[in-house]
Amino acid sequence: MQAKPKILVIGSANMDMVIQSDHFPVPGETIIGGEFSLVPGGKGANQAVAAARLGGDVCFITRLGNDIFGSQNLLNYQKEGIDTSHIQQIPNVPSGVALITVDKSGENTIILAPGANSQLSPYDIIASQQKFEEADLILLQLEVPIETVCAAAELAKKLDKKVVLNPAPALGLPDSLYENLFLVTPNETEAEYLTGIAVKDEKSAKKAARYFLEKGVKEIIITLGAKGAYLYTSDFKGILPTVKVQTKDTTAAGDTFNGGLAVALGNSLPLKDAVKFAMKAATLSVQRMGAQTSIPFLHELPMT
């Protein structure tokens, strides 16, 4: 890929507090953990950083607190070359925070305190119309108010822009949102939550994908972790496998995948090729610790 497509990311920004442990505590249990780290995160921010590192010209729209975490995050985005002209720091509201535990197999549990993320409103979307007009693709998630997500998708549709929704964390979605989406990218758990269909194999993945198709979504990708991704598109239906690696931390794997996918689609790659590119990036990310610290750069991706 040679061009730098314009990717508009609208979503959350957090500071992640990460503790490694042998296992997850059960209710009432206190365990001694291992290494602690403070890492910039949030699905919106992770995907914006991933898109920037993987070759995109990225504008990020979010809300931060007027605190040390907000100032640190803003500086980080600027260092990544991200357009921060539509990021505001809100007084008297804390920045979003995530408490993350990572076990020895690389799996994680996450609790979010949205903070300033809850202040991102449909008005902010209207005020950002120029950025929508300039964008080659719009990337959304669900860690900001649902009415803001719906407003962004509606405006993008009016401007004939492709919208990719990563429906995470999963919550009930109005039909009007689905109708404005080009592509939806749930993982197995999110797909089951949204469709009521447990995704266990290719047959069940196809059934879940058809649910989204019937809602009006044009293309569907269900990510399957170490097994790869299931695609339901106009010219391909099936699982694309990924390379098996030793997993250290899956925290930002999905965000890396979606950021890479947005860049590839913004470069007009066919969806099948775009997914292969995104999986290469995600595979590298799970071999590293942390959220944004694990996201690779374009030059790190294997060429084949």
- pTM (predicted TM-score): 0.92
pLDDT tens digit sequence for 214-273: 999 999 999 998 899 999 998 899 999 988 888 887 778 999 999 999 999 999 999 999
Q: How confident is the model at residue 1 (pLDDT cuts 50, 70, 90)?
A: low
Instruction: Tell me whether residue 187 is annotated as binding.
Output: yes
Instruction: Tell me whether residue 143 is annotated as binding.
Output: yes
The helix-helix angle for 253-266 and 271-285 (nearest 10°) equals 150
What local confidence, expressed as pLDDT, does residue 107 receive? 85
Rounded CA separation 53/38 (Å): 20
- The average pLDDT across 82-86 equals 98
Instruction: Tell me whether residue 272 is annotated as binding.
Output: no
CB-hemisphere CA count at 13 Å for 291?
30
Instruction: Tell me whether residue 288 is annotated as binding.
Output: yes
Tokens, residue 74: 């803003």
Rounded CA separation 69/97 (Å): 9
Instruction: Tell me whether residue 147 is annotated as binding.
Output: no
Instruction: Tell me whether residue 6 is annotated as binding.
Output: no
Instruction: Tell me whether residue 267 is annotated as binding.
Output: no
pLDDT tens digit sequence for 99-116: 989 888 888 888 889 999
Single out the residue of 253, 190, 195, 246 nearest to residue 222, CA to CA.
190
Q: How confident is the model at residue 153 (pLDDT cuts 50, 70, 90)?
A: very high
pLDDT tens digit sequence for 14-59: 998 989 999 999 999 999 999 898 888 999 999 999 999 999 999 9
Q: Which 3 state secondary structure label does DSSP give 15? A: strand
What local confidence, expressed as pLDDT, does residue 303 receive? 66
Tokens, residue 219: 């293309």
> Using an 8 Å Cβ cutoff, are 59 and 131 in contact?
yes
pLDDT tens digit sequence for 122-137: 999 999 999 999 999 9
Instruction: Tell me whether residue 244 is annotated as binding.
Output: no
Tokens, residue 188: 């197995």
Burial class for 252, CB neighbours closer than 10 Å (0-12, 13-18, 19+): buried
Higher pLDDT, 287 or 261: 261
* Res. 304: pLDDT tops 60: no
Neighbours of 72 (CB within 10 A): 14
Instruction: Tell me whether residue 30 is annotated as binding.
Output: no
Annotated catalytic residues are 255
> Using an 8 Å Cβ cutoff, are 221 and 262 in contact?
no
pLDDT tens digit sequence for 163-178: 999 999 999 999 999 9
Q: Which 3 state secondary structure label does DSSP give 260? A: helix
- The average pLDDT across 3-11 equals 95
The class level of CATH for 6-25+33-294 reads: alpha beta
What local confidence, expressed as pLDDT, does residue 142 receive? 97
Instruction: Tell me whether residue 43 is annotated as binding.
Output: yes
